[in-house]
């Protein structure tokens, strides 16, 4: 069985809103939880804007948009997820936050077979599984930004995840969500970020050392290597705070200097220039990021 009937999504930021959208578009009932009304309203409008964008682009019909919205509900308490059979956690990339969510969810979910997944990109999944009473039903399910557009999901079983649960989630990703699922071991960065993050932080170091301007670095990779966007614009899309957290987790895991967040990245995060979501990163985004 690959279908989950009720899916909870915890966190409605860039990733959570995209995950909730694709699950609802695929036909699942989805409950979204955010920590407060303001964050919830912001996430909800981001999700609606993305559905509208999909509609304008002809990716879904008006009826499909309405049906997806009808399958979504928005909440501010984890207790509302009690009867979910799959919960995907997509809160900020911080171990303490994620562990607290996993611990609370574990006590709330009534179905003993319910699966808890994390959209982490760099935190060891086993450290989240370990705070639950159901470690065999915990795994990583890593989506890519923008979630409705990117076709990949990384599935990360830990050393104690039940093989049948991994199979069920792999099938859900492929058959229900229509994504391509790849499997990776529970090592910080998995496949994609292990390759991507050194490249992104190298671009920041290159800018910082004055080798080339932001525009020229990005043009180099777009026009020279046919990447859809350059590394600095991609960092703006991911969010500089998120990128810094991922780089820190990877540095923590491997102690390889190539993963360490460079000073310029840290300073920009400290200054609140977080990329598109804050309106300013390596580039400015005005009113409409």
CB of 246 to ligand CAA, least distance (A): 6
**Sole binder of ligand CAA in the list 121, 166, 245, 278 (CB under 6 A):** 121
Q: Can 119 be counted among the known catalytic residues?
A: no
- List the catalytic residue out of 28, 118, 122, 193: 193
- Distance (Å, whole) CA 72 – CA 276: 26
Q: Which of residues 270-289 bind ligand CAA (CB under 6 A)?
A: none
Contact status: 118 vs ligand CAA (CB under 6 A): no
User: 63 is written with which tokens?
Assistant: 């009826």
**Sole binder of ligand CAA in the list 5, 37, 57, 219 (CB under 6 A):** 57
- Region of residue 8 (phi > 0: left; psi between -120 and 50: alpha; otherwise: beta): beta
- Omega cis (within 30) before 146: yes
Q: Which of residues 198-217 bind ligand CAA (CB under 6 A)?
A: none
- Distance (Å, whole) CA 235 – CA 245: 12
Q: Which is nearer to ligand CAA, 144 or 259 (CB)?
A: 144
**Cβ-Cβ contacts under 8 Å for 101 (sequence gap 6 or more):** 10, 78, 89, 91
Q: Which of residues 124-183 bind ligand CAA (CB under 6 A)?
A: 144-146, 148-150
User: 8 is written with which tokens?
Assistant: 């909870």
Torsion angle, alpha carbons of 270, 278, 195, 166, to 10: 110
Contact status: 230 vs ligand CAA (CB under 6 A): no
Q: Which is nearer to ligand CAA, 76 or 180 (CB)?
A: 180
- List the catalytic residue out of 28, 121, 122, 249: 121
CB of 83 to ligand CAA, least distance (A): 29
Burial class (CB in 10 A: 0-12, 13-18, 19+), 184: middle
- List the catalytic residue out of 154, 248, 249, 278: 154
Strands of 115-118's sheet in order across: 72-75, 29-33, 6-10, 86-89, 115-118, 138-142, 152-157, 180-183
Exposure string over 24-43, b if 16+ CB within 10 A, otherwise e: bbbebbbbbbbbeeeebebb
CB of 276 to ligand CAA, least distance (A): 10
Q: Of the listed pieces 39-47, 52-60, 75-83, 262-270, which binds ligand CAA according to CB under 6 A?
A: 52-60
Q: Can 121 be counted among the known catalytic residues?
A: yes
**Sole binder of ligand CAA in the list 59, 65, 99, 205 (CB under 6 A):** 59
Catalytic residues: 121, 142, 154, 193
Binding site for ligand CAA (CB under 6 A): 50, 53-54, 57, 59, 121, 144-146, 148-150, 193, 228-229, 234, 238, 246
């Amino acid at each position: 069985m690959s279908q989950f009937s009720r899916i909870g999504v915890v966190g409605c930021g860039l990733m959570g809103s995209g995950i909730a959208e694709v699950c609802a578009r695929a036909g699942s009932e989805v409950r979204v939880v955010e920590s407060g009304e303001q964050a919830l309203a912001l996430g909800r409008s981001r999700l609606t804007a993305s559905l509208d964008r999909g509609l304008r682009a002809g990716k879904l019909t008006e009826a499909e948009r309405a049906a997806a919205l009808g399958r979504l509900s928005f909440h501010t308490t984890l207790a509302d997820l009690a009867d979910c059979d799959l919960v995907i956690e997509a809160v900020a990339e911080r171990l303490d936050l994620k562990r607290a969510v996993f611990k609370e969810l574990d006590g709330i979910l009534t179905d003993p077979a319910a699966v808890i997944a994390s959209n982490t990109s760099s935190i060891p999944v086993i450290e989240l599984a370990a705070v639950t009473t159901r470690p065999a039903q915990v795994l990583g399910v890593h989506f890519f930004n923008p979630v409705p557009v990117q076709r990949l999901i990384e599935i990360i079983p830990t050393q104690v995840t039940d093989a049948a649960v991994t199979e069920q989630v792999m099938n859900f990703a492929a058959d229900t969500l229509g994504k391509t699922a790849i499997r990776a071991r529970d090592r910080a960065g998995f496949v994609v970020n292990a390759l991507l993050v050194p490249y992104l932080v190298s671009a920041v170091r290159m800018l910082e050392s004055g080798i080339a301007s932001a525009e020229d670095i990005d043009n180099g990779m777009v026009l020279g290597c046919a990447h859809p966007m350059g590394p600095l614009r991609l960092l703006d899309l991911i969010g500089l705070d998120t990128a810094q957290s991922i780089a820190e987790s990877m540095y923590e895991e491997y102690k390889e200097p190539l993963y360490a967040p460079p000073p310029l990245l840290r300073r920009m995060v400290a200054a609140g220039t977080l990329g598109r979501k804050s309106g300013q990163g390596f580039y400015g985004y005005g009113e409409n990021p």
